[in-house]
Amino acid sequence: MQTEQDSPQRVVCEASVEIKNADGLHMRPAMQFVDIANQFDCDINVSNEENTVDGKSIMQMSMLAATCGTKLKIRAEGADAKEAVDALRELVVDKHFDEPMPKKRSRKEKAKDLKE
Amino acid sequence: MGFADFVCFEALIPELQATDRDGAIAELVSALDEAGQLGKGNCEVITRAVIKREKEASTGMGKGIAVPHVKHSAVKDIVATIGCSSGGIDFAALDKQPVYSVILLISPLDNPDKHLQTMEHVFKHLRQEKFRKFLRQSQTTEEIESLLREADENPQL
């Protein structure tokens, strides 16, 4: 994470996060993200490789279609930028939206796939 | 990926009879069922599942739009339909405003990535004010279908 401090009011903070829950950033996780983002005053943008969207808008966050394994960049700008990025990173990475991570595939399942 | 790939045009409802959320969901699920999209005997179960999901967290995301959805084993591929309500329906939306366009999506259990891609496509257009306005103004099945087909041709719409 990088923090640049131009002035006390103008903090820019960025973090790269990877989506870890199996179902990806579908609507429920996107809403959790937007809910947390809206608790902060700073501007929050989220980018994938193609798009940068407003992290406070559910419609825009749903457009990211971030699947499990997708890397996103969170960029916050404003007095509470660092707190915002910390909270969002915790949600995405540490808590993975309180959803299951992908199951490790058993040898049996792999063998079955091979047969098919 | 375009609307034509997952929207069942036969099941479009240009004017919902229902004036409440659960009624609108039931009407849209029945339309998909009547169009033969849900297999036999799944209509009620799916309606209940969508309503249950909607109660957990509203999919009314503001600007007159709701996108109720659920995963269900009855479908092998994603299927969707759209209903419009000129009077507006209370969906407990984020902005507390009535919903005029309801997009119902039923996804299979095992393809979360495709569900996300479909949502991406839907929201790419729904965030455009012009698209939302045209959808709300549509009065016939044909008008909705041609709007969706035009959106598939024109990413700016």
Q: pLDDT (tens digit, 9 = 90+) per residue, B20-67? A: 999 999 999 999 999 999 999 999 999 999 999 999 999 999 999 999
CATH code that applies to domain B3-153: 3.40.930.10
Please report which confidence band the pLDDT of residue A2 belongs to, taking 50, 70 and 90 as the band edges.
low
Q: What is the mean pLDDT of residues A58-84?
A: 95
| pLDDT greater than 90 at residue A42 | yes
pLDDT digits 0-9 by tens, B83-95? 999 999 999 999 9
- Amino acid at position B28, single letter: L
Chain B residues within 8 Å of chain A (Cβ atoms): 56-57, 59, 61-63, 65, 67, 69, 94, 112-113, 115-117, 119-120, 122-124, 126-127
Q: Where are the domains of chain B?
A: 3-153
Separation between Cα atoms, residue B135 and residue B83, nearest integer Å: 10
Instruction: State the best of B6, B53, B95, B123 to mutate against chain A, taking most chain A CBs within 10 Å.
Output: B123
Separation between Cα atoms, residue B54 and residue A27, nearest integer Å: 11
Taking the Cβ of residue A62 and every Cβ of chain B, the question of whether any pair is shorter than 8 Å is answered with yes
Separation between Cα atoms, residue A13 and residue B56, nearest integer Å: 33
DSSP 8-state class, residue B13: B
pLDDT digits 0-9 by tens, B101-156? 999 999 999 999 999 999 999 999 999 999 999 999 999 999 999 999 999 999 88
Least confidently predicted of A10-14, A38-42, A67-71, A104-108: A104-108
pLDDT of residue A30: 95
Q: Could you tell me the residue range of the domain that residue A98 belongs to?
A: 2-115
Q: Least CB-CB distance to A28: which of B57, B122, B127? A: B57
pLDDT of residue B98: 98
| pLDDT greater than 80 at residue A69 | yes
pLDDT of residue A43: 97
Taking the Cβ of residue A79 and every Cβ of chain B, the question of whether any pair is shorter than 8 Å is answered with no
Please report which confidence band the pLDDT of residue A111 belongs to, taking 50, 70 and 90 as the band edges.
low
Tokens of B8: 């069942």
How many domains is chain A partitioned into structurally?
1
Give the rounded distance of the alpha carbon of B89 from its chain centre: 14
Query: Is residue A9 within 8 Å of residue A79, measured between CB atoms?
Result: yes
Separation between Cα atoms, residue A34 and residue A57, nearest integer Å: 6
**CATH number, position A70:** 3.30.1340.10
pLDDT of residue B126: 94
Tokens of A62: 């749903």
Taking the Cβ of residue A87 and every Cβ of chain B, the question of whether any pair is shorter than 8 Å is answered with no
pLDDT of residue A107: 60
Separation between Cα atoms, residue A52 and residue A40, nearest integer Å: 19
Residue of A96, A72, A83 whose CA lies nearest to A11? A83
